[in-house]
Amino acid sequence: MTVLEIAGKLLIVDCGVLFPEEHHPGVDVILPDWSSVRDRLSDVVAIVLTHGHEDHIGGVPYLLRERADIPLIGSKLTLSFIAAKLTEHRIKPKLIEVREGESLTRGPFDLEFLAVNHSIPDGLAVAVRTDAGLVLHTGDFKMDQFPLDKRITDLRGFARLGEEGVDLFLVDSTNAEVPGFTTAEKDLAPAIETVFRTAPRRVIVSSFASHVHRIQQVLDAAHAHGRKVAFVGRSMVRNMGLAAELGYLRVPDGLIVDYKTLDRLPPTKVAIVCTGSQGEPMAALSRMAAGDHKIRVGPGDTVLLASSLIPGNENAIYRVINGLTELGANVVHKGNAKVHVSGHATAGELVYCYNIVQPSNVLPVHGEARHLHANAQLATSTGVDPDRVIIAANGHVIDLHHGRAAITGRVEVHSVYVDGDTVGTVTEASLAERRTLGEEGVLTVVAIIDADTGRLAEEPDFILRGAAYDASMVNSAIPALEKALAAAAEQNITGADRLEELIGREIQKWAFRSFRRRPMVIAVVIDA
């Protein structure tokens, strides 16, 4: 999420989500922190959406909860995806559809849209002209010269803007470390065709629910080999239905069937396209790997993972691959076949862009620290002044003034966690507690205290959950408990809350001394 400001008005470019990793137990998605502009949402003239991936549109429903009439600007497919999401949130958005080559003005921002190709159709770069200068944001892009939809990245437009003078160039950094040029999508067709030609039974394909081009290749291969196709997974069914309805996905008549009818077809005539390519625990493929889905994977089935391996998801993905393999399936993935190419420009493509745009200032975006720095090095290698290449962190404020961009401040930002129906109530502290519960277990101590003497009135109860030691082993904690009560008596501590805090601290020390573990200790004091 990027916010541009001039003349007291705000323009937002993208508003996506991050997906939780293993150290975010219970979290559904992670939102950007827009608290610094929350009091100024009335100044937002529009949200420009560069394309329809979740990490660029997933946060929009949560932002529109706070101001529902912010106009959303994007291409036809992008707006159809976000509109479907907003319907689930019961929000009726104000949509402004644009195409490449078109321009419009919102407040003090003059916007021009350029075609870029990516791993989803209808991606757009946006040029923003203001009194402060010209800003060009690539969005996510690559330079596939043979895209399946014949829609190439508008390098002529990039060059034209370069002639006009790009004051600040915001550039996708995801593949800045990867040398050369990205493989064309069409070059995957032979590997996908081989899977469908040689599979002895069913073919199960897992891909991103937004990767229309990849699904098109799968449909073409299935049709060529006489297989019927069923979509499985809510987002896959929804997105492919929208893509077909809008003409982005070409579906031969009679090819798509309901997955409930698959049992009536021979396995050699079946193909399933499902979600779960990143090992998401509730997605269809993960549930199949765990034997917890109506579709049962077995010997002779071929599973094709037609997607990348997103950093942070490796363990989850390999867990799914192992589970499917143990069930007897042959798993084809990027590691053993040419079944995926990235949607992001590699180093050769980025250098090409710098040479034709020749920007005055560069701000690498969309990537982790190593990607941003690699992109910065590419920019300087083409002649951009190193002092005009900005490595910014979340929350940094960059001013563009008299043709020069520089970091001039920082707003406080945090990760905003969505947990079920709650937004922002989960904190780093509560996540730490969850990790403790998951890794160390919980030990509850129920102590009945004689109100007159301050000593134990009877033996305490110890209740263990998720611990590696049993109740008989914790009786040795009684001396630690008695020590805590003695210390409380010396300090004249009598309140239940203070006693529980003191007992909890002593029992935790005892647990570490005894077992080298730090369980969550819950002390309950009852006056006798």
Place of tokens 């920007």: 359
Please spell the DSSP secondary structure of 274-325, one letter per residue.
ES-TT--TTSHHHHHHTT-SSS---TT-EEEE-S---TT-HHHHHHHHHHHH
Q: Residue 347's pLDDT is what?
A: 97
Average pLDDT, rounded, for the chain:
92
Give Rg (Cα) of the chain: 28
Average pLDDT for 442-467: 84
For residue 337, being part of any structural domain is answered with no
pLDDT tens-digit profile of 97-143?
999 999 999 999 999 999 999 999 999 999 999 999 999 999 999 99
Q: What is the CATH number of the domain that holds 279?
A: 3.40.50.10710
The total number of structural domains that make up the chain:
3
Task: Tell me: pLDDT of 156 over 70.
Answer: yes
Q: Residue 21's pLDDT is what?
A: 79
Q: Do 6 and 150 fall into the same domain?
A: yes
Average pLDDT for 478-502: 83
Task: Tell me: pLDDT of 471 over 70.
Answer: no
Average pLDDT for 55-72: 96
Which residue type is seen at 343?
A: G
For residue 280, being part of any structural domain is answered with yes
Q: Do 255 and 393 fall into the same domain?
A: no
Poorest-pLDDT segment among 47-56, 261-270, 356-365, 458-467: 458-467
Average pLDDT for 274-287: 83
Q: Do 212 and 323 fall into the same domain?
A: yes
Q: Residue 396's pLDDT is what?
A: 97
Distance (Å, rounded) from C-alpha 44 to C-alpha 46? Answer: 6
For residue 84, being part of any structural domain is answered with yes
Average pLDDT for 355-360: 98
Task: Tell me: pLDDT of 310 over 80.
Answer: no
Instruction: Choose one of 275, 300, 332: the last residue of a domain.
Output: 332
Q: Residue 335's pLDDT is what?
A: 80
Instruction: Choose one of 422, 453, 481: the last residue of a domain.
Output: 422
CA distance to 107, 111, 165, per residue, from 6 (Å): 9, 14, 19
Beta 124-130 vs 133-137: how paired, if at all? antiparallel
Task: Tell me: pLDDT of 475 over 90.
Answer: no
- 3-class DSSP state of 190: helix
Instruction: Choose one of 360, 395, 422: the last residue of a domain.
Output: 422
Q: Do 320 and 304 fall into the same domain?
A: yes
Q: Do 213 and 124 fall into the same domain?
A: no
List, edge to edge, every strand of the sheet that includes 302-305: 228-232, 270-274, 203-206, 302-305, 330-332
- Indicate the pLDDT class of residue 455, thresholds 50, 70 and 90: confident
Q: What is the CATH number of the domain that holds 522?
A: 3.10.20.580
For residue 319, being part of any structural domain is answered with yes
Q: Residue 515's pLDDT is what?
A: 84
Q: What is the CATH number of the domain that holds 408?
A: 3.60.15.10
Domain holding 236, by residue range, is 185-332
Task: Tell me: pLDDT of 26 over 90.
Answer: no
Q: Do 163 and 18 fall into the same domain?
A: yes
Q: Residue 99's pLDDT is what?
A: 97
Q: Do 47 and 123 fall into the same domain?
A: yes
Q: Do 352 and 381 fall into the same domain?
A: yes
Task: Tell me: pLDDT of 311 over 70.
Answer: no
Q: Do 252 and 309 fall into the same domain?
A: yes
* Segment of 211-215, 229-233, 350-354 carrying the highest mean pLDDT: 350-354
- Indicate the pLDDT class of residue 386, thresholds 50, 70 and 90: very high
Q: Do 13 and 103 fall into the same domain?
A: yes
Q: Do 404 and 465 fall into the same domain?
A: no
Half-sphere exposure of 232 (CA within 13 A, CB side): 26
Distance (Å, rounded) from C-alpha 175 to C-alpha 297? Answer: 34
| Secondary structure string (H, E, C) spanning 221-271 | HHHHCCCEEEEECHHHHHHHHHHHHCCCCCCCCCCECCHHHHHHCCHHHEE
Task: Tell me: pLDDT of 407 over 90.
Answer: yes
Would you put residue 208 in left (φ > 0), alpha (ψ -120 to 50) or beta?
A: beta
> Considering the chain, what percentage of its residues have pLDDT values greater than 90?
65
Task: Tell me: pLDDT of 269 over 90.
Answer: yes
Q: Do 165 and 309 fall into the same domain?
A: no
Average pLDDT for 12-30: 89
Task: Tell me: pLDDT of 494 over 80.
Answer: no
